[in-house]
A and B are shown apart, each in its own frame.
Chain A
Amino acid sequence: MSSEVSRVSGVSGIGRSAALSDNAARLEASGLAKRFGGFRALDGLSFRLERGEILGLMGPNGSGKTTTINVVSGVYSADGGEVCLDGKPVTALAPHRRVRLGLNRTFQVPRPLRGLTVHQNVEVAAVYSGAGTDVVAQCLEWAELAHLAGRRASTLNNSQQKRLDLARALATRPRVLLIDEMGAGLNPAELETMAHKLCALAEQGVALVVVEHVLGFLQMVSSRVIVMNAGRAIFEGTVAAAAEDPEVVRVFLGERHH
């Protein structure tokens, strides 16, 4: 896999090097906490994300990756901590307010508006986020869904629904995009195309958080990963360094291998 991987990650290098001149991060989460009953899904997670950067989020099942996306996007309210977009706290805002400020997400299991057409799915996002209907055709084209514009979303296959989910998010002109398990259920060719698309977004300045189990995919898109366990970050660095880290190995493979 190495030749392809290095070629694509070369593209992402542009996003990686784009640093921000002012000191507020595009997205900053500090001390995020979320409990479900007695279970601490997030337990003091902090991270920064700069303009045009792609940050990978890894970790075993139940480590809090998807909860991070849910709390940052406002789908769940945080029990503690703060989320700042360009230095402004958004923690108390409803999801639709965060969307209008340029924060959006996708879902591990895509959630299109099933009874609406593909075009309407994107249109409603463009209209209500304030982006305007001009972006609809562009987003459909980008997601390779233009030829399906008139179809009901419920008739799309998994890969198409994932792209529709992404097109819906893009139609709101996000500055920060949180992507939950894009790789799950995509074949290798689709994965690579998607990696290219995400890198291209980052080059345009969009900051991305990518939650992923498919390591190859993460290697293609992100220069920096955070490994989570039990709601905390236990490692931050490159994908390659993560694979070498004894704590990360212990978390993924269990005590006996240590």
Chain B
Amino acid sequence: MLKAVLTGVATVGLFALAPVFYANQTLLFSAMMYLVLAQGINVLYGFTGYLPFGYVGFFGAGAYAGALSVLRLGLSPVLALVVGGVVAVLVGVVLVPLLRLSGAYFAIANLAAAQALYYVVSNPDLQALTNGPYGINLAVAYNATASYAAMVALLGLALATVVYLRHSRLGLALRAIREDRISAELAGINVVRERTIAWLLSALLAGLCGAAFAWYISVFYPETVFSLNVSIFAIVFALFGGAATLAGPIVGTLVLYGLYSAIGISQPEYFQLIFGLVIVGLVLFLPDGLASLSERAGFEVP
């Protein structure tokens, strides 16, 4: 517990202070964004076993809900973050029936749901509301420092959520459900209720994250915030480090997003190759991520 809290505080502190030493704030912001999304994936996958390939749907819903509540309703950006989170949770509520599916069926249905949201938002007929395919310009609310600070706070929230799950009875119940649904029910666990809580918590993190992204980036298009790449990056980062731990997704994101920043733009073909090899290697040799290596060596991962 202490180790986990220290890990969390150190990570948040690092990103809070980093802009003082390092000029590329956008890179730091993106790293934090993926860190939050990877932990959001972790909340769902690590604790319930559902792998949400359409996770970006919550992110996009949050980005649009946040941006539109500033543009159309004149809300303050901070309040808009909350709206982004709430709307993502509402999308999650609508999608609760997906939890009846399992494995690949859930992943595909979730992906389809995210695509459906993308097509609704980018529909030219809805231009009056969403500006359709022409995207969003949030320049009126632009504030790099405040939105960066918001993402730091959000990172703290995401890490605190995972620490809570690892040390609470809810987390124990979720892990029980992940292990064996029937045995969990026979332990008296309300499986439907507990996994819905995890699903909505995960949606909330992605929604808040999307709204913070919209605020920081200021100009974006439907393709930007509903890109399947966002889901895949977050999933691979979380799994590479090790799901169901706090440190796993942190390490996974820092290493792989670091790699992406170093060569992903300048030499995308090499990055794609390495990224693909990492995914294959992960599935074949290390399904529980780097954390399992460390645990095999006798060092408990927080």
Residues of A with Cβ closer than 8 Å to B? 73-75, 94-96, 99-100, 104-105, 111-116, 120, 123-125, 127-130, 168-169, 171-172
Closest 10 CB pairs of A and B: A129-B188, A125-B187, A128-B188, A113-B179, A95-B185, A99-B188, A111-B183, A128-B189, A96-B185, A124-B187
Q: Does B166 contact A (CB under 8 A)?
A: no
The count of residues in chain B whose C-beta lies closer than 8 Å to any C-beta of chain A is 19
Cα–Cα distance between A169 and B186 once the two chains are bound (Å): 7
Among A74, A75, A111, the one with the most B-chain Cβ atoms within 10 Å of its Cβ is A111
Q: Which of B169, B173, B183 contacts A112 (CB 8 A)?
A: B183
B186 and A113 within 8 A (CB): no
B172 and A94 within 8 A (CB): no
B188 and A96 within 8 A (CB): yes
B192's nearest neighbour on chain A, judged by CB, is: A94
Contact A73/B186 with A96-B191, A113-B179, A114-B179 known, Cβ cut-off 8 Å: yes
| Cβ proximity bits B168-198 to A, threshold 8 Å, 1 near / 0 not | 0100110110111011111111111000000
Cα–Cα distance between A190 and B55 once the two chains are bound (Å): 50
Q: Which of B169, B175, B182, B188 contacts A111 (CB 8 A)?
A: B182
A129 and B183 within 8 A (CB): no
Cα–Cα distance between A171 and B192 once the two chains are bound (Å): 22
A125 contact set on B, CB distance < 8 A:
186-188
Cα–Cα distance between A95 and B187 once the two chains are bound (Å): 9
Distance in angstroms from B169 CB to nearest chain A CB is 5
Contact A113/B180 with A120-B172, A123-B172, A124-B172 known, Cβ cut-off 8 Å: yes
Among B176, B178, B192, the one with the most A-chain Cβ atoms within 10 Å of its Cβ is B176
Cα–Cα distance between A94 and B180 once the two chains are bound (Å): 16
9 further A-B pairs in the complex, CB-CB below 8 A; given A96-B191, A168-B186: A94-B192, A95-B186, A99-B187, A113-B175, A113-B176, A113-B183, A116-B179, A171-B187, A172-B187
Among B172, B176, B185, B186, the one with the most A-chain Cβ atoms within 10 Å of its Cβ is B186
B244's nearest neighbour on chain A, judged by CB, is: A115
Distance in angstroms from B185 CB to nearest chain A CB is 4
B180 contact set on A, CB distance < 8 A:
111-114
Show 28 residue pairs from A and B whose CB-CB distance is below 8 angstroms, ordered by the A residue.
A74-B185, A94-B185, A94-B190, A94-B192, A96-B186, A96-B191, A99-B185, A104-B186, A111-B180, A111-B182, A111-B183, A112-B183, A113-B175, A113-B179, A113-B183, A113-B187, A114-B179, A115-B178, A116-B179, A124-B169, A124-B173, A125-B186, A125-B187, A127-B172, A129-B188, A130-B188, A168-B186, A171-B187
